[in-house]
Structure 1
Amino acid sequence: MRYQQSDPDVRLMMRVKEDDAAAFETLVRRYQTRLVRMMQHMGPKGMAEDLAQETFLRVYRARHRYQPGAKFATWLYTIAGNVARNANRSAGRRQEVSEIDAPLPDQPDQPATLLAGTAADASGLMPARMVEKGERAEIVRAAIESLGERQRMALMLSRFENLSYAEIAEAMGMSAKAVKSLLSRARVNLKELLQPYIDAGVLPQEPK
């Protein structure tokens, strides 16, 4: 009852529980962009929109079992985290198979420093400010993806969704104290990953 009174999204989900399609559409509109952004960091590359859709599908399938024991966002991101983890495991298995079957490359992969040259070449085709902004966004994305899964999840929920330690703890099945420690380590690691770019323009390496 407490969450129904304080969280308008919980009230919407209670209507979804009674098969109110309009209420579900409202929740999708409110959270779709945020879920896609989260999945860009949490799931396999190129699957963010599909994973967001899978999350909403699970929400809808679970509607009749829904009980408002937390904020709606906390419940939603718990489901989203499970979806992302399952997708990462599946992608990892597919990667293992493809590595076994793949032929040996004729040439070694290009070093990360060549990516900087590619960005510099592109600067002649678009305003420098746009290139710089796009490069920064890509650098931050790569750095976040280099974090461990739990650090990434906690950081996304804290920084982009503004959830409290207690709410993140509920979504991740941890104590609030553990979340605080996890976020502290994530911020330190993120700073270390970004420092070479800040100091010398060196691109962080993509996660393996």
Structure 2
Amino acid sequence: MLRVRDDDAGAFEELVRRYEARLVRLMHTLGPSHELAEDLTQEVFLRVYRARKRYEPGAKFSTWLFTIAGNVARNSARTMSRRREVSEVDAPRSQDSPSNAQLLASTALDASGLMPARVSEGSERAQIVRQAVESLSERQRMALMLSRFESMSYAEIAETMDLTPKAVKSLLSRARVNLKEMLQPYIDSGLIPKEVGP
């Protein structure tokens, strides 16, 4: 980022290559569609580029980047809720895409301590877990993504989300409890939870 600050275009391209997929995955979880996730990711990189001259190395670069991403996601959510428009253009997420559905299926259940052998691998489980994660609050989803997929510490998540480490620990604990409650009927008897049904 220091090279980007000095107008090194190659360094900016390297940052985009290094972080783009991670940001799209985060935005995909926080936003309603894959297309919007890509647009929001581009907005994050645009903000990074615009702020390059003011960048001061303090915390880890990824913490600074994900802080910007969280702000972009929240601004987008506010804009969408103000408009209250339902877009017919955005297609539902593809269940075949290499999105985080399969990752969420294993990590969310694993995080909840719910990994019984009889829960089969497959798209049904991935869809149910993805929908359960989507039903969490935005803050819980973001904390879960930063913890599980970015391997950030409580302190780093706290800095990214402008919270205390204790608040992050509580947020992640509530997210795990909520996921366990939503997924328990499916794990116990294969019933699709009402909260995440079609």
Letter in 2 for 1:89: R
| Cα drift, residue 94 of structure 1 | 2.2
Write out per-residue CA displacement over residues 103-141 of structure 1, whole angstroms, 9 at most, x where no aligned residue: xxxxxxxxxxxxxxxxxxxxxxxxxxxx95222222221
Letter in 2 for 1:185: R
User: What is aligned with 1:187?
Assistant: 176
Aligned length: 163
Does residue 51 (structure 1) correspond to residue 40 (structure 2)? The answer is yes
Write out per-residue CA displacement over residues 40-79 of structure 1, whole angstroms, 9 at most, x where no aligned residue: 1112324111111111111111101111111011001100
Query: Does structure 1 retain, via aligned residues, the 8 Å contact 2:63–2:157?
Result: yes
2: CA distance, partners of 1:132 / 1:197? 13
User: What is aligned with 2:114?
Assistant: none
2: CA distance, partners of 1:50 / 1:97? 18
More helix by share: 1
2: CA distance, partners of 1:90 / 1:202? 36
2: CA distance, partners of 1:62 / 1:146? 33
User: What is aligned with 2:189?
Assistant: 200
1:128-167 alignment to 2 at 5 Å? 132-167=121-156
Does residue 26 (structure 1) correspond to residue 4 (structure 2)? The answer is no
Question: Relative to structure 1, is the Cα distance of residues 97 and 133 closer, same or farther in structure 2, using a 3 angstrom cutoff?
Answer: closer
Given candidates 44, 58, 83, the residue that maps to 1:69 is 58
Letter in 1 for 2:26: M
Question: Relative to structure 1, is the Cα distance of residues 139 and 97 closer, same or farther in structure 2, using a 3 angstrom cutoff?
Answer: closer
TM-score, normalised to structure 1, is 0.73
Letter in 1 for 2:122: K
Unaligned runs of 5+ in 1: 1-12, 99-130
1:135 match: secondary structure? helix
User: What is aligned with 1:172?
Assistant: 161
Larger Rg: 1
User: What is aligned with 2:25?
Assistant: 37
- Return 136-145 or 81-90, whichever deviates more: 136-145
| Cα drift, residue 96 of structure 1 | 5.9
1: CA distance, partners of 2:190 / 2:42? 36
| Cα drift, residue 202 of structure 1 | 3.1
User: What is aligned with 1:16?
Assistant: 4
Query: Does structure 2 retain, via aligned residues, the 8 Å contact 1:169–1:175?
Result: yes
TM-score, normalised to structure 2, is 0.76
| Cα drift, residue 36 of structure 1 | 0.8
Alpha-carbon RMSD across the aligned residues, in angstroms, is 2.0
Letter in 2 for 1:76: L
1:73-88 alignment to 2 at 5 Å? 73-88=62-77
Query: Does structure 2 retain, via aligned residues, the 8 Å contact 1:44–1:88?
Result: no
1:79 match: secondary structure? helix
Letter in 2 for 1:27: L
Structure 1 ranges of 4+ moved more than 6 A: none
Letter in 1 for 2:8: D
Query: Does structure 1 retain, via aligned residues, the 8 Å contact 2:128–2:196?
Result: no
What percent identity do the matched residue pairs reach?
71
